[in-house]
Amino acid sequence: MDPIKNPFSPGAGSPPPELVGRDPALEQARILLGRIKNKRPEKSMLLTGLRGVGKTVLLNEIEQLAIREGFRTIFIEAHENIALGPLIFPYLRTLLFDLDRMAGMSHKVKRGLAVLRSFIGTIKMTLGSEVTIGIDIEPERGSADSGDLEIDLPNLFVAIGEAAEERKSAVAILIDEVQYFSQKELGALIVAMHKIQQRQLPILLLGAGLPLLQGLAGEAKSYAERLFSFPDIGALSQEEAAIALKEPAQAVGVHFDSAALEEIFRLTKGYPYFLQEWGYQAWNIAESSPVTLQTIQKATAAVIRRLDQNFFRVRFDRLTPSEKNFLRAMAQLGPSPQRIGDVADILNNKTASLSPVRAKLIKKGMIFSPAYGDMAFTVPLFDEFMVRVMPEWPLIPNIMV
């Protein structure tokens, strides 16, 4: 069928033709936005879920909701190795400039800029000269310039919250990939939101990250649970997965046979990214409507090849040989959560000597701990990929120390 008309959209953050199964999270966000606007306390949201479940897409959707509700928004993406301060600084500067341009003089906005100026002063000191300040205002000495992020970020957020409040405005800070912040940065963010909540200032935080985020937040500050809710963004049910495929196709007059839908669900387990990939390839391979089971079977080989070359491969290529061995051993045990002792047995090794490898894999966002002592893949179907890519077992001998 005509690839130009193909409605499916596999890709990182690509909006799906139909956002299925996310009404509860969207409703929760709508309530949160409404309550913050009305100065009522509400827990901020940190969406958590595996790779490719649709967190970024949902966060973008929530940003649109916030804009419609009259919020000013900031959308940032955390990275491994980029510090929170320099990352967030340019966005906060733009925000304050926007507030400054509104009619009438505002002391709180000017103060916000002065505090931001002093905040970036300390970061500039630690990072060198590559941070451009671009704020033509004297720094407010003694505010947000202690050099301790847990003190400075809350002070900065309060100054910005007061500026927004004076402008009768509200601010939504959206952060993707929150798990990449260091414990110190996450702690500072939590303390900052704590202070904002105590002062009832119009700032809210909406974040997204891998499932380990909830644990990281709890470790950073034990009261994180009381400040944030952690909606679990997961795979779609069979019924929802069918809707995600059927509805966009129907809109252009194409039908899926029920056997085709069942087969896609069996293969994708309802993971949104995979649904888009299978939908996309099946569309291009199908001669005409309806899309049949045979079409899906033909599409599957193409999809797996594509996933193996891209989605899975980029992650695999970032692994060291011992990390590959570790994940291959996990895959040998199957898709469910595994215990490190069982992985150690397979590798003929001791649990203690595997701990550093496990820690690195957690840091890289490849595995997480769904329950104490358990480990699971953050990438759905990664176990099947590991078996495909390292069929000979063990493939990399004498690597595991």
Ligand X SMILES: Nc1ncnc2c1ncn2[C@@H]1O[C@H](COP(=O)(O)OP(=O)(O)OP(=O)(O)O)[C@@H](O)[C@H]1O
What single-letter amino acid sits at 314? V
d(CA 13, CA 391): 31
337's tokens: 């959560």
- Binding pattern to ligand X, positions 10-39, x when CB under 6 A? xxxxxxx--xxxx-----------------
Nearer to ligand X, 51 or 167 (CB): 51
* CB closer to ligand X out of 120 and 375: 375
- Among the listed ranges 7-15, 193-201, 329-337, 338-346, the one in contact with ligand X (CB under 6 A) is 7-15
387 binds, among ligand X, Mg ion, none (CB under 5 to 8 A by kind): none
Closest CB 21 distance from ligand X, rounded Å:
5
What mask of x and - would describe binding to ligand X in positions 232 to 271, judged by CB under 6 A?
------------x---------------------------
Which residue number, 244 or 285, has a Cβ lying nearer to ligand X?
A: 244
SS3 260: helix
* Residue nearer to ligand X on the CB measure, 55 or 117: 55
Strand runs (DSSP E) across 65-193, as ranges? 72-77, 171-176
Residue from the set 71, 89, 228, 273 that interacts with ligand X by CB under 6 A: 273
Q: From the list ligand X, Mg ion, none, which binds 231 (C-beta under 5 to 8 Å, kind-based)?
A: none
Q: Are 375 and 330 in contact (CB under 8 A)?
A: yes
What does 16 interact with, of Mg ion, ligand X, none (CB < 5 to 8 A by kind)?
ligand X
Size of the site for Mg ion (CB under 5 A): 1
Assess 56 for contact with Mg ion (CB under 5 A). Answer: yes
Question: Of all residues in this chain, which one has the CB nearest to Mg ion in the complex?
Answer: 56
Q: For 288, which DSSP code?
A: S
For residue 256, the 8-state DSSP code is B
If one asks whether residue 48 binds Mg ion (CB under 5 A), the answer comes out as no
Strands 44-48 and 228-229: parallel
Decide: 192 and 92 in contact? Cβ < 8 Å: no
Element at 184 (helix H, strand E): helix 183-198
* Tokens found for residue 278: 């299978």
Site for Mg ion in 306-365 (CB under 5 A): none
Question: What phi-psi label fits residue 214: left (phi over 0), alpha (psi between -120 and 50 degrees) or beta?
Answer: alpha
- Which among Mg ion, ligand X, none contacts residue 241 (Cβ within 5 to 8 A by kind)? none
Q: Which of 161, 272, 319, 382 binds ligand X (CB under 6 A)?
A: 272
Is 353 one of the binding residues for ligand X (CB under 6 A)? no
- Residues 49-88 vs ligand X: string with x where CB under 6 A? x-xxxxxxx-------------------------------
Residue 53 interface partner, choices Mg ion, ligand X, none, CB cut-off 5-8 Å depending on type: ligand X
What strand order describes the sheet that includes 338-339? 338-339, 374-377, 367-368
Let me know: does 199 contact 192? Beta carbons within 8 Å. Answer: no
The span of 45-53, 218-226, 284-292, 325-333 binding ligand X (CB under 6 A) equals 45-53
207 strand-pairing partners: 46, 175
Token code pair at residue 314 = 């980029």
268 conformational bin, left if phi > 0, alpha if psi -120 to 50, beta if neither? alpha
Give the N- to C-terminal CA distance of the chain in Å, as an integer.
52
Binding site residues, ligand X, CB under 6 A: 9-16, 19-22, 49, 51-57, 244, 272-273, 275-276
Binding site residues, Mg ion, CB under 5 A: 56
